């Protein structure tokens, strides 16, 4: 899986053997820049697409812990919870959901997140 960024430099992710090293290098070089939250979210999405929920939840959580206020922060938190549900870790999902609702209380996208999350929780749990 190749992600091409603004400058069309490939970033290998998902099941590529070099993905962990590439991710670590990106964090070392650009970890202080909030915009990298988009890139980490994208990597998490690719793990999600491939069904690698453990890795997906790890990256979503990374976004939430390091850049909770970035544009994808609330969505990363939602997917983190949804990943936990897919992993059948419902107790942790419910705990993280409560934390998310507190963290993003009043956020402009909270209603949309709830709209996605509610049916998903019922379907997967």
The structural domains of the chain, ordered by start, are 2-124 (1.25.40.10)
Q: How much of the chain exceeds pLDDT 70, in percent? A: 79
Average pLDDT of the chain to the nearest whole number: 82
In this predicted model, what pLDDT tens digit does every residue of 2-40 receive, in sequence order? 444 444 444 444 556 677 787 888 889 988 887 888 889
Mean pLDDT of 81-87: 92
Q: State residue 12 phi and psi, 5-degree precision.
A: -85, 135
- pLDDT value, residue 3: 45
Rounded to the nearest 5°, which phi and psi values hold at 10? -70, 140
Residue 66 has pLDDT above 70, yes or no: yes
Query: Is the pTM of the predicted complex or chain greater than 0.85?
Result: no
CA 33 – CA 92 distance, rounded (Å): 29
What is the separation, in whole angstroms, between the first and last Cα of the chain? Answer: 30
pLDDT at 69 exceeding the cut of 80: yes
Residue with tokens 């999350």: 117
pLDDT at 113: 84
CA nearest 61: which of 40, 46, 34?
Answer: 40
């Amino acid at each position: 899986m190749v992600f091409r960024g603004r400058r069309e430099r490939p970033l290998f992710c998902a099941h590529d053997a070099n993905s962990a090293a590439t991710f670590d290098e990106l964090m070392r070089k650009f970890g202080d820049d909030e915009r990298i939250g988009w890139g980490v979210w994208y990597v998490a999405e690719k793990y999600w697409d491939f069904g690698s929920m453990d890795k997906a939840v790890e990256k979503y959580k990374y976004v939430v812990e390091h850049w909770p206020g970035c544009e994808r922060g609330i969505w990363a938190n939602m997917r983190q919870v949804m990943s936990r549900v897919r992993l059948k870790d419902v107790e942790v999902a419910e705990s993280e959901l409560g934390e998310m609702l507190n963290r993003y209380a009043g956020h402009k996208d909270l209603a949309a997140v709830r709209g996605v999350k509610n049916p998903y929780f019922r379907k997967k749990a």
